[in-house]
Amino acid sequence: MGSVSFAFYDAFTDTAFGGSQAGVVSDVAGLDAQTMQRIAKEIGAPATGFVTASGEDWVEARFMSFVTELPMCGHGTLCLATRMVELGVLDWHGRASFEAALRLPTATATVQISRRDDGRPLVMLDIRPPSFHDDGLDMAALTGLLGLGVKDLHPALRPETARGDFVHLVLPIAGLDAMRRIAPDFGGLTRYCLDHGIETVAAFCMEVERPDSALHVRDFCPAVGVAESAAAGTTNSALTSYLIRHGQAKPDGDGRIAVQAEQGHEIGRPSIIRSAVRMEGERIARLQVGGVATKLIDGQLHLP
């Protein structure tokens, strides 16, 4: 196939060496899924986005981790949309903000792109609100696999499974001390997740390090090939939905809710993830998650 355009980004961070990493490979029409998977494995990032086609206000893409195809990827979308803006495929046309369609194999999502004061794109991805379920999981077993005890769970909020583009086990933790003591048995955690149909274990607490944050998050994803995610959009959209469900996040007079989460601190990749919600009564009418992506590498990927 020759050479294709390639770039590598850190998502959910204004500066390099934070956030969650993703590659973006442009113009790969005709590249089969097996080759995409081999490229993603070679790159070794939590996600690689492959642009298969594009137009003035839409991008068709697929996302791969280094072990499997992903139905959706929040941090990968930030990187892919930022790349398409930088290449001029998605053009501002003098606008301060515009929307584009992200066409994936199983769904189409709306991406809102706004120009920040420094000229960089702020990317917000529309996410389908998840449904929540109490699956009666063994919390003693799970907390043991995380190096914690049941006493380290939040005393008033209960764990629930959030089912949307991914299946997240939402795990409310008592505070920062317990969050910092998490030391997963990743082999055992992988088996636990596979046995119960869970893709990520989303541990969070409402004690935070940054004064402008509402949540402190750790997201464990060994079942989909990532031990711990430094920043996860779909996870944070599920956590925001959970907070609303349990009365921990309330709308302003216009029915708007904004939640900023911090993630990645324990693994040396600090991140900021923004969720934005528009409510209609008790119902989530629009759920968005996003932030900015910082480019590290820009060049060509050489294929046989």
Query: Which CATH number characterizes residue 182's domain?
Result: 3.10.310.10
Structurally, the chain folds into a number of domains equal to 2
Q: For CA atoms 130, 169, 165, 25, give the dihedral sign.
A: positive
The residue with tokens 């402190």 is: 216
Residues 6+ away with beta carbon under 8 Å from 178: 148, 152, 205
Q: Tell whether 96 and 140 lie within a shared domain.
A: no
Q: Tell whether 114 and 153 lie within a shared domain.
A: no
Q: Tell whether 136 and 112 lie within a shared domain.
A: no
- Inter-residue contact 290 to 10 (CB < 8 Å): no
pTM: 0.91
The residues facing 283 across adjacent strands are: 280
Confidence (pLDDT) at 30: 77
Confidence (pLDDT) at 224: 86
Q: Tell whether 224 and 282 lie within a shared domain.
A: yes
Q: Tell whether 97 and 140 lie within a shared domain.
A: no
Q: Tell whether 153 and 226 lie within a shared domain.
A: yes
Q: Tell whether 149 and 268 lie within a shared domain.
A: yes
Confidence (pLDDT) at 1: 58
- Inter-residue contact 251 to 239 (CB < 8 Å): no
Going by C-alpha positions, the residue among 271, 279, 299 that lies closest to residue 78 is 271
As a whole number of angstroms, the distance between CA 184 and CA 192 comes to 12
As a whole number of angstroms, the distance between CA 257 and CA 275 comes to 8
Q: Tell whether 48 and 174 lie within a shared domain.
A: no
Q: Tell whether 73 and 142 lie within a shared domain.
A: no
- Inter-residue contact 279 to 35 (CB < 8 Å): no
Confidence (pLDDT) at 192: 97
Dihedral of the alpha carbons of 69, 75, 76, 82, in degrees to the nearest 10: 170
Q: Tell whether 39 and 122 lie within a shared domain.
A: yes
What domain range includes position 110? 2-127+292-303
- Inter-residue contact 64 to 48 (CB < 8 Å): yes
Q: Tell whether 187 and 259 lie within a shared domain.
A: yes
As a whole number of angstroms, the distance between CA 161 and CA 56 comes to 38
Confidence (pLDDT) at 199: 96
Q: Tell whether 278 and 170 lie within a shared domain.
A: yes
Give 10-residue mean pLDDT values along the chain (304 residues). Answer: 88 95 89 91 93 95 91 93 96 96 95 96 96 96 98 97 95 98 98 97 98 97 91 95 97 97 97 97 96 96 85
Confidence (pLDDT) at 304: 78
- For residue 7, give the DSSP letter: E
C-alpha 130: how far from chain center: 14
